[in-house]
Structure 1
Amino acid sequence: MTLLVVEGLNKRFGGVTAARDVSFSLDAGELLAVIGPNGAGKSTTFGMVGGQLRPDSGSVSLLGEPITGLPSRAIWRKGVGRTFQVAQTFVSMTVAENVQMALVSHHGRTRNLLARTRALYRPEALDLLDRVGMRGDADRPVAELAYGDVKRVELAIALAAAPKLLLMDEPTAGMAPRERAALMALTAGIARRDRIGVLFTEHDMDAVFAHADRILVLVRGEIIARGSPDEVRGNARVKQVYLGETGSRAALRSRRETAVP
């Protein structure tokens, strides 16, 4: 089932073209990676899909419904979750309270200022934390967690809205190699089991080639290649402008390694 359709997105900032005729689709349960060097247009593309940026032209549809130019909160309400390069959590709250806050917002109870967050949706929050392997830390302050665990909490927060589509901006940034593999394996398992489409950017080629079903390569705002990991890895232009010999060897190695969740 086609979940997301992006057609002909264009965006300029002054004299700089950040995205030129960016088009792609994403199926439910599929992981699609967007890669490219710094300044390639990855963040701009994410911003246009997620509602942080309005495209100059082009369209974005979710399950056949146009969402082009809608504000990010309206897009979130339609079933689009998001994680960020730097984890967005309330460090003064406990792990469970962070997820409960997301559930409170999802259920539209934020106007009830007298409601005690600790009493709302705790069983649901614990279930979500169990899915990401963090239930045992439910009552710990987020400030005490290792960064890899904070990223798991952020994933649980994103799942609180029962998303159809998950946008992940460099999900493994700042993590150790083993943590990266574990988080991506966890995300892939959840996405395929629950039929959540995942669009993600990533500089770690091991994570990309080990877990993406398809890959888009952006350079200077344009898609220069697309296809399966094997097709992209073998693309001569991609090797020349982005992967190089080092990236190619890393990508090949990642296919031989098993990620441990």
Structure 2
Amino acid sequence: MTTLLAVTGLEKRFGGVTAGKNVTFSLAAGEMLAIIGPNGAGKSTTFNMVGGQLKPDAGTIVLAGQDITGKPPREIWRLGVGRTFQIAQTFVSMSVVENVQMALISHHGQTRSVTGAATRLHREAAIGFLARVGMADMADRPVNELAYGDVKRVELAIALASEPKLLLMDEPTAGMAPKERTALMQLTADIARAHGIGVLFTEHDMDSVFGHADRILVLVRGEIIATGTPDEVRSNQRVKQVYLGEAGSQAALKARRQAAEVH
């Protein structure tokens, strides 16, 4: 597989706290790579360094052969990185198709040159992206009338509208029912493989991780302790020890056991 993203030796410090230490991994086109770990492991820090929200103190991030280390989020987006968020980012007062049209207007650099009704621009293309996520039949419905699972599909269509090489997904199934989670992650995997999009995602729902990731990267205290296929990570003794030793309460222990699937 062709390497799409190469991350080498990333480090990030906040005062005396090291949130990322020698973080090194790669991601292939069409591959789903999950970043998991206990709270405070450095997942969000790593994710945000790749996305440009945080500038690393050391290391490099190379996307499709181009160094994007430390570039601002908008420039990284222009270079082919799309993103979805833990809380869906949509214009709730607009229709479904208008949300995607706005993304296309921005992608084509037309935000300052639109003189007529924006609703006339890129409608057909927007419908095409909605069809990819199974939302074309709801194109003219206001977003604020949709079920949350459908809003997340709209957000995915918005991210795809910029034709990304790499898609960053921050807790993509947060707030969703189990069936919705499975459907969204399978849809994402199908789209990624069909269009050669690399997907890097963070996720707390371990059914989504182990059911849909091609590989999993496990972070603890800013360092990678394991990388491998779901089966390899599930059977990794150090991963088991970290999750089982992390409980501060019976509820936390149960959650970690379920997360790591180490019964």
Shared fold by TM > 0.5?
A: yes
What does 1:82-97 correspond to in 2, within 5 Å? 82-97=83-98
What does 1:225-240 correspond to in 2, within 5 Å? 225-240=226-241
> How far is the alpha carbon of 1:247 from its aligned partner?
3.2
> How far is the alpha carbon of 1:53 from its aligned partner?
0.7
Aligned to 1:41: 42
The answer as to 2:247 corresponding to 1:246 is no
Residue identity in the other structure for 2:106: S
Q: Using the alignment, how far apart are the partners of 2:207 and 2:110 within structure 1? A: 41
Q: Using the alignment, how far apart are the partners of 1:101 and 1:211 within structure 2? A: 30
Residue identity in the other structure for 2:188: T
Aligned to 2:67: 66
Aligned to 1:197: 198
What does 1:129-144 correspond to in 2, within 5 Å? 129-144=130-145
Aligned to 1:257: none
The worse-fitting range, judged by mean Cα deviation, of 108-117 and 91-100 is 108-117
Aligned to 2:183: 182
> How far is the alpha carbon of 1:114 from its aligned partner?
2.0
Aligned to 2:249: none
TM-score by length of 2: 0.93
Q: For each residue in 1:69-88, what CA deviation from the matched residue of structure 2 results, as whole angstroms up to 9, or x when unmatched? A: 01100000010000000000
Q: Using the alignment, how far apart are the partners of 1:200 and 1:133 within structure 2? A: 21
Kept in 1: contact 2:7–2:24 (CA 8 A): yes
The worse-fitting range, judged by mean Cα deviation, of 39-48 and 111-120 is 111-120
Aligned to 2:53: 52
Q: Using the alignment, how far apart are the partners of 2:56 and 2:259 within structure 1? A: 32
The worse-fitting range, judged by mean Cα deviation, of 35-44 and 97-106 is 35-44
Aligned to 2:127: 126
Kept in 1: contact 2:173–2:203 (CA 8 A): yes
Residue identity in the other structure for 1:28: A
Q: Using the alignment, how far apart are the partners of 1:120 and 1:180 within structure 2? A: 32
Q: For each residue in 1:165-188, what CA deviation from the matched residue of structure 2 results, as whole angstroms up to 9, or x when unmatched? A: 000001000000000000000000
Kept in 1: contact 2:243–2:257 (CA 8 A): no
Aligned to 1:7: 8
What does 1:143-182 correspond to in 2, within 5 Å? 143-182=144-183
Gaps of 5+ in 1: 253-261
Q: Using the alignment, how far apart are the partners of 2:258 and 2:89 within structure 1? A: 32
Residue identity in the other structure for 2:258: T
Aligned length: 251
Residue identity in the other structure for 1:104: I
> How far is the alpha carbon of 1:201 from its aligned partner?
0.4
Q: Using the alignment, how far apart are the partners of 2:230 and 2:166 within structure 1? A: 21
Percent sequence identity is 72
Question: Relative to 1, partners in 2 of residues 1:248 and 1:52: Cα closer, same or farther, differing over 3 Å?
Answer: closer
> How far is the alpha carbon of 1:248 from its aligned partner?
4.3
Q: Using the alignment, how far apart are the partners of 1:135 and 1:11 within structure 2? A: 42
> How far is the alpha carbon of 1:113 from its aligned partner?
4.1
TM-score by length of 1: 0.94
Q: Using the alignment, how far apart are the partners of 1:248 and 1:219 within structure 2? A: 13
Kept in 1: contact 2:243–2:260 (CA 8 A): no
> How far is the alpha carbon of 1:116 from its aligned partner?
1.6
Aligned-residue RMSD, C-alpha: 1.2
